[in-house]
Amino acid sequence: MTKIAMNVNGKAVSREVPDNTLLVEYIREHLRLTGTHVGCDTSQCGACVVHVDGKAMKSCTMLAAAAEGATVTTVEGLAASKDELHPMQIAFKDNHGLQCGFCTPGMIMSATDMVERYQAEGKELTEEAIRHELEGNICRCTGYHNIVKSIQDGASKMTNA
């Protein structure tokens, strides 16, 4: 057993967990934050993406102990409050960027990371760049067209926020 402490969605948390506990398990089972999904357990689908110290990470392939002392943001912690969604969440809703919703938390977390990186580097976030960046996220429902539209809209909303 290992005692780990980190900041998750702005709150300090600490738990003793088995050494082989994955970050996604820690988030879902120990902290009861179920917005982060487990899709494949092999780092293929991206449903489990969270931000660790500001970077998008697939939490199904990261040990919880590796996040010791880190700042972790899940889809539940992305919005400013329960009453005010994040601009990317609004964009996914407004542009029908989801159907079943299973991949949506990972897509939104990947998208916000993508937009923040491109903005910080002063690079243009083109449709081609978005599609390339989404190669690590799988959606079985939408065909990606509305997801790309959502990310483009979310990027403009994040720029103007």
pLDDT digits (tens, 9 = 90+) for 48-107: 999 999 999 999 999 999 999 999 999 999 998 888 999 999 999 999 998 888 999 999
Q: pLDDT tens-digit profile of 6-57?
A: 999 999 999 999 999 999 999 999 999 999 999 887 888 999 999 999 999 9
- Cα 154 vs. chain centroid, distance in angstroms? 14
Question: Helix (H, G, I), strand (E, B), or coil: what is residue 154?
Answer: helix
Distances from the Cα of 41 to the Cαs of 12, 44, 58, 102, 156, in angstroms?
A: 26, 8, 10, 14, 33
Give burial (CB, 10 Å; 0-12/13-18/19+) of 64.
buried
Distances from the Cα of 144 to the Cαs of 29, 38, 40, in angstroms?
A: 30, 20, 19
How many Cα atoms within 13 Å fall on the side-chain side of residue 46?
20
The answer to pTM > 0.85 is: yes
- Domains of the chain as residue ranges with CATH: 2-77 (3.10.20.30), 87-160 (1.10.150.120)
Report the pLDDT value the prediction gives residue 149, as an integer from 0 to 100. Answer: 96
Q: What span, in angstroms and rounded, lies between the C-alpha atoms of 145 and 133?
A: 14
